[in-house]
């Protein structure tokens, strides 16, 4: 039996709390730096994501383990014509765990069926990216209990998998979600339906200034230029979904502005120095969270 990490939807609140608890232990200076000394991690990235890859490599190195990796360019030439299933079977013979990033949705689920070692999903297409969600939750929990909070989600909520996955997880904590998305980039109807079925209150807003004063967390996601027919319509939309210091004038003192990064102008750099800006800390939290995951699957 192996222990895969594929989708946040596979987890109960108890599982998530446990992982966040573990991440907290790795966020101290007292963890065992040799915990994964004998272990080798394979990072298979069929799509570029330097940040996520480095974060897993760092986590592995901090636990004394070693990593081997294939980046997107190598991956596309090495495995030309080979199925992902075969690649996974081969790499299972080398490493003690596999971190997979792949452009197709469901790729990590498939990999878990063929792997003889644990598979950790580091993003599959527009699908799941569970370690991102865990680090988002971890960051929130550093400042406040997650239960019942008001979370604003701003940006591309249609294609933004980090927002979808976070919304599912937050539904386990009785949180309320306020969505603010440009026309055509709203939360997909089936996700909205499922969240409501899970008992979550999801409220749609046209303008972030209508709701920002009530929020505990404002989760901003990137609006991708390629979703728009021309750059004029992109700039039009992008400029009206922009977080500026002015907008944050009357917010709650403990408001946290998060962003999975990289940002593309959604958050004005003037916000960076305000106490609400927590996105760099959020990014840093990827390391203890991934240490917890790696330790969990390979210990």
Partner 1 sequence: MNDEASPVKGLLISPIRSGTVIDHITAGEALNVLKILGITGSTTESLSVATNVASHRMEKKDIVKIENRELRKEEVDRIALIAPQAKINIIREYLVVEKKGVEIPKILRGVVRCPNPGCITNTNEPVESTFEVLEKGLHCLYCDWWIKTDIAGHII
- Catalytically active residues, by annotation: 51-52, 80, 101, 129
- Cβ closest to partner 1, residue 8 vs residue 238: 8
- Cβ closest to partner 1, residue 126 vs residue 202: 126
205 is in an annotated binding site: no
Give the tokens for residue 197. Answer: 């079925």
To the nearest whole angstrom, how small is the minimum distance from the Cβ of residue 123 to partner 1? 13
Chain length of the chain: 299
Contact residues toward partner 1 (CB under 8 A) are 7, 9, 83-85, 102-107, 109-110, 113, 124-128, 190, 193
Q: Of 259, 224, 42, which is closest to residue 126 (Cα–Cα)?
A: 224
To the nearest whole angstrom, how small is the minimum distance from the Cβ of residue 6 to partner 1? 10
- The helix or strand, by DSSP H or E, that contains position 135, with its residue range, turns out to be helix 130-143
**Other CB atoms closer than 10 Å to residue 299's CB: what's the count?**
11
- Cβ closest to partner 1, residue 87 vs residue 282: 87
To the nearest whole angstrom, how small is the minimum distance from the Cβ of residue 114 to partner 1? 8
262 is in an annotated binding site: yes
Cα angle 74, 102, 159; round to 5: 135
161 is in an annotated binding site: yes
Contacts of residue 125, defined as CB under 8 A and 6 or more positions apart, other chains included, come to 102, 103, 104, 105, 106, 107
In sign, the C-alpha dihedral spanning 72, 74, 76, 82 is negative
51 is in an annotated binding site: yes
As annotated, the binding site includes: 51-52, 80, 101, 129, 132, 161, 222, 261-262
**Binding annotation for L-aspartate:** 80, 161, 222
């Amino acid at each position: 039996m192996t222990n895969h990490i594929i989708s946040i939807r596979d987890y109960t609140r108890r599982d998530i709390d446990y992982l966040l608890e573990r991440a907290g232990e790795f966020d101290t200076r007292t963890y065992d730096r040799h915990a994964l000394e004998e272990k080798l991690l394979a990072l298979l990235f069929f799509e570029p994501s330097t940040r996520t890859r480095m974060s897993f490599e760092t986590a592995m190195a901090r636990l004394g383990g070693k990593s081997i990796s294939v980046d997107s360019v190598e991956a596309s030439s090495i495995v030309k014509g080979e199925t992902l299933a075969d690649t996974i079977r081969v790499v299972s013979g080398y490493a003690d765990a596999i971190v997979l990033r792949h452009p197709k949705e469901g790729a990590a689920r498939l990999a878990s069926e063929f792997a003889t070692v644990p598979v950790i999903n580091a993003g599959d297409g527009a699908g799941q990216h569970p370690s991102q969600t865990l680090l988002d939750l971890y960051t929130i929990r550093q400042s406040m209990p997650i239960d019942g909070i008001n979370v604003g989600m701003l940006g591309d909520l249609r294609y933004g998998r980090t927002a979808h996955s976070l919304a599912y997880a937050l539904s386990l904590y009785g949180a309320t979600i306020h969505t603010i998305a440009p026309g055509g980039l709203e939360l997909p109807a089936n996700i909205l339906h499922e969240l409501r079925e899970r008992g979550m209150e999801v409220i749609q807003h046209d303008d972030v200034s209508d709701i920002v004063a009530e929020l505990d967390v404002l989760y901003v996601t990137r609006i991708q230029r390629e979703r728009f027919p021309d750059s004029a319509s992109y700039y039009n939309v992008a400029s009206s979904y922009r977080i500026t210091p002015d907008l944050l004038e009357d917010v709650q003192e403990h408001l946290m502005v998060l962003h999975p990064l990289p940002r593309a102008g959604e958050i004005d750099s003037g916000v960076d120095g305000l106490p609400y800006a927590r996105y760099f800390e959020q990014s840093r939290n990827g390391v203890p969270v991934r240490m917890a995951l790696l330790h969990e699957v390979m210990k």
